[in-house]
Amino acid sequence: MSAPRCLFVMDPLDRIHVDGDSTWMLLLEARARGWPCWFCTPDQLYAEDGIASARCQTLEVSATAPHFDPGAPQDRKLGDFDVIWMRKDPPFDMDYIFSTYLLDLAPPSTVVLNHPTSIRSANEKLFTLRFPQFITPTLITRDIPRILRFAKDAPGRIVLKPWDGNGGRGVLVSQHGDPNLRSMSEILTTEGTQHIIVQHYIPEIVKGDKRVILINGEPVGQMMRVPSADDHRGNMHVGATVEACELTPRDQAICATLGPVLREMGLLFVGIDIIGDFLTEINVTSPTGLQEIRALTGDRLEVALTDAVAARVAAARAQESC
């Protein structure tokens, strides 16, 4: 089989922080196998007469600085590639959604990961609602009195957060009787015009927010992100530290339930977040964690992930030849 040709739809190279970037790891592994790689940003995708294309550049990568060596821009049809990785970081906004519409136009012979239609369907915070047996009591609303009633009925603190946030942005903790709760609700809902997520607070967050990586629906690695003493969020860019951990029986049950759904939807590379016994997010847009898990355990998940991609390319080529 000839080497798969790969296009990475990603952030601009000058915004990539290689110390913790999973896309860079995937690029390194692809080039180590001799797979030709190109890259573009989402705004460089376009379509003409129903044919989707990209203004893209060849890309060489290195483990040492300078890490990236791009070639001259060129126009290539999406069908010229065997694999397209959608690796643009959140926010998951209308620009991101529009990119998935263009990626939907890639021919069946091109494997697009994760599947663009499924990315649109699987909002990272709302997708968990399909698995109510694994989530903490949750309210989705823009109605401020409803938020206040939810807080009053909660056994303790509550968490308020945007449904389209990322990286811990806008995550607030409050409770019934907090004089700031109404104001928080007004700000996050933009005076009752935008839906937000309100949940029971999970006290186990002080022990950490567990990230589990699933490849083709199977858990292959995990890490615990432990919040700093002065921040309740388990996000590394706000000071959380990373520790090794194991999967509990509850974690395994969550993965076993999610696995078939993820496979059916074409979501090859997924990172789920678990706090205590509760599933909190299903990250499908641009999951990360490969470098951190490798540093903790030595596991090279980028190798397993690229193996899975190779298998999908082989299946697509076999189907095309039938």
Residues in the chain: 322
Fold topology of 205-283:
D-amino Acid Aminotransferase; Chain A, domain 1 (3.30.470)
Q: Taking 70 as the threshold, does the pLDDT of residue 232 lie above it?
A: no
In whole angstroms, give the CA distance from residue 312 to residue 36. 17
Which part of the chain has CATH 3.30.470.20? Answer: 205-283
> Of 161, 166, 216, 302, which one is the catalytic site residue?
161
In whole angstroms, give the CA distance from residue 243 to residue 272. 16
Q: Taking 70 as the threshold, does the pLDDT of residue 234 lie above it?
A: no
Structural contact between residues 54 and 102, judged by C-beta atoms closer than 8 angstroms: no
Looking at the DSSP assignment, which residues form a beta bridge with residue 224? Answer: 210, 243
Structure confidence at residue 240 (pLDDT): 80
Catalytic site residue 161? yes
What residues contact residue 238 under an 8 Å CB cut-off, 6+ apart?
A: 167, 168, 228, 231
Q: What is the pLDDT of residues 240-297, one digit of tens each?
A: 899 999 999 999 999 999 999 999 999 999 999 999 999 999 999 999 999 999 999 9
> Of 124, 164, 209, 281, which one is the catalytic site residue?
281
Structure confidence at residue 135 (pLDDT): 98
Which part of the chain has CATH 3.30.1490.20? Answer: 137-201
> Of 225, 251, 292, 302, which one is the catalytic site residue?
225
Q: Taking 90 as the threshold, does the pLDDT of residue 180 lie above it?
A: yes
> Of 125, 209, 216, 292, which one is the catalytic site residue?
125
Cα distances from 33 to residues 57, 79, 138, 266, in angstroms, run 19, 21, 45, 24
- Prior bond to 91 cis, omega within 30? yes
Structural contact between residues 150 and 136, judged by C-beta atoms closer than 8 angstroms: no
Catalytic site residue 152? no
Which part of the chain has CATH 3.40.50.20? Answer: 6-120+304-321
> Of 5, 209, 211, 216, which one is the catalytic site residue?
211
Catalytic site residue 211? yes
Fold topology of 137-201:
Dna Ligase; domain 1 (3.30.1490)
> Of 5, 87, 210, 233, which one is the catalytic site residue?
233
- % of the chain with per-residue pLDDT over 70: 97
> Of 29, 283, 292, 302, which one is the catalytic site residue?
283
In whole angstroms, give the CA distance from residue 259 to residue 271. 12
Q: What is the pLDDT of residues 111-156, one digit of tens each?
A: 999 999 999 999 889 999 999 999 999 999 999 999 999 999 999 9
Catalytic site residue 77? no
The stretch 213-225 carries a mean pLDDT of 98
Catalytic site residue 281? yes
Catalytic site residue 233? yes
Q: What is the pLDDT of residues 92-109, one digit of tens each?
A: 788 999 999 999 999 999
Q: Taking 90 as the threshold, does the pLDDT of residue 236 lie above it?
A: no
Written out in words, the top-level CATH class of the domain with range 6-120+304-321 is alpha beta
Q: Taking 70 as the threshold, does the pLDDT of residue 12 lie above it?
A: yes
